Amino acid sequence: MKAMSFSAIILGSSLEDLPKKLNEAAGDAEPERFSSADNLLQLLGLCLILALILVAAYYTSRFIGRYKMGQLKDSNIQVIEAFRISPNKMLQIVRIANRYVVLGISKDQITYITELDGNEVVTHDVQENGKLSFREVFEKLKGKNSKG
C-alpha cells in the first residue's frame, strides 16, 4: 500500500474501515528511540534556557532598582530610619521636605507622634562613588564584633 497522509485516511474511510486502514498505514512503524547523546543535548539546552532566564531576571531587577532609586533620590519624602517594635508595629523617622517627623505605623493605621529638629536627627548619606564591596562591609562588621 502506498503511503497516505493521516488526514487522507481519516477522510477517505468509513468508520468501520478506519482501524484497519490506520494499522496498514502504520505498518511496522516503531516509536522513535532517543540515544543518551540526544538526552544530554536536551538537558544542556534546558540548562542554557534556565541560565538565560535567570540572567534576564537579574539584570531586569537591577534596572528597575536603579530606576526606582533615581526617582526616590529627588523625592521630598524619605524614610530616614525604621525600628520594628513588634511584627505589625514600627516607628519611622521620615523626612518630609525639610521637616523630620516620627510616625507610629501599625497594620491598619499611621499615627503622627512628634516632630524632630534637624539637629536631633543623624542621617546616613549614601554616596554613589562611596560604594563598598561585600568584603569591605564584612571586614568592617567583623572588626566591630572582635572589639566588643
Q: Tell me the pLDDT tens digit for each residue of 64-91.
A: 888 877 766 677 888 889 999 999 999 9
The more confidently predicted of residues 89 and 139 is 89
pLDDT band at 57 (very low <50, low <70, confident <90, very high): very high
Residue range 3-32: mean pLDDT, rounded: 73
C-alpha 135/C-alpha 142 separation (Å) is: 10
pLDDT band at 92 (very low <50, low <70, confident <90, very high): very high
DSSP annotation of 109: -
Q: Tell me the pLDDT tens digit for each residue of 93-119.
A: 998 988 999 999 999 999 999 999 888
Q: Tell me the pLDDT tens digit for each residue of 21-56.
A: 777 777 767 777 778 888 899 999 999 999 999 999
C-alpha 77/C-alpha 85 separation (Å) is: 22
Q: Which long-range contacts (CB under 8 A, 24 or more apart) does 60-64 make?
A: none
C-alpha 27/C-alpha 100 separation (Å) is: 84
C-alpha 11/C-alpha 1 separation (Å) is: 17
pLDDT band at 58 (very low <50, low <70, confident <90, very high): very high
